[in-house]
Amino acid sequence: MKQISLILIVFTLSAKFLFGQINLNSNTNSNSLTSNAEIDKKIRSSFLFFSIGGIELGSIGVGYQVIDNFSFSLKGSAAWIGSSAEFIPNGASGFGIRLTYHKPFFFFNAASFEYILYTKSTIPWEWKKRYNEIEEIPTLKGYYLEFNIGRETINESGFNFFWAIGIYKSAAKEADILYGPSLKIGFNYNFFKKEKLK
C-alpha cells in the first residue's frame, strides 16, 4: 500500500507540473484554439465507460468528476498475462481504479493512472497445487499498472469517443512480468452536466 500511495502522489504532482509548464506557452496566446475549445460552462458529474485495447483486452467502469480537472473511476478489466504452453497466452481479470487529470496540452487533454488487482486468471492453479508447485491458491493473482495520455470529452452529455496511449506493467503470479506500450479506444457516457465553480 505504501508503494501504491507513493506512485499516486508522484503521478499527481508530476502530471500537474508537466501540464502547467506546457500550458504556460499556450496561455500566452489569447486566441489559442485548443484552450478555447476546452472551455465550457458545464462539465459532467458522473459517467460510464467501456474500452478495448491490446494487452488490456477490455474494461468497463463507472466514474465521478470530482473537480473540473480530476476524475475518479472504479473499473473491471481483463488482460493478457503471458506464460502459456499453448499458442494463446493466459489471461487474468480483476477490479481496480483509474485516476485522471484533465488539462489540455498539444492534442491531448487527459493523463490517467490505472491500477488493477487480478482476482482471477487462467493459470492452472489446481494442477499446480496438486503437484506441489504451490502450497495455496492465492486470493489475489497479481496486478496491472498503466500510465497513459489521450483525449476524453468531459463537457458534453451522452456518448463520446476517447482514446489513450501509454505504458503498462502486468505482474501476474506464476506468470512472466510484462512491460510495454499500451493503446486503447472506447466510449464514455456522461451524465448530469453541472456549472463549473469560479
Is 26 a domain residue?
A: no
Beta-carbon contacts of 166 under 8 Å, excluding residues fewer than 6 positions away, are: 112, 146, 147, 148, 149, 150, 181, 182
Spans in the chain with pLDDT lower than 70: 1-41, 84-87, 193-198
Residue 29 lies in a domain: no
Give the DSSP H/E element, type plus range, for residue 118.
Answer: strand 108-121
pTM: 0.74
pLDDT on residue 86: 63
> What is the pLDDT at residue 195?
56
Check which CATH number belongs to the domain holding 97 and give it: 2.40.160
What's the confidence (pLDDT) of residue 101? Answer: 97
In a domain, residue 107? The reply is yes
Spatial CB neighbours of 28, under 8 Å, sequence gap ≥ 6:
none
> Domain span at residue 163?
45-190
Query: Could you tell me if residue 156 is inside a domain?
Result: yes
| Number of domains into which the chain is organized | 1
pLDDT at 85: 56
Helix (H) or strand (E) holding 129: helix 125-130
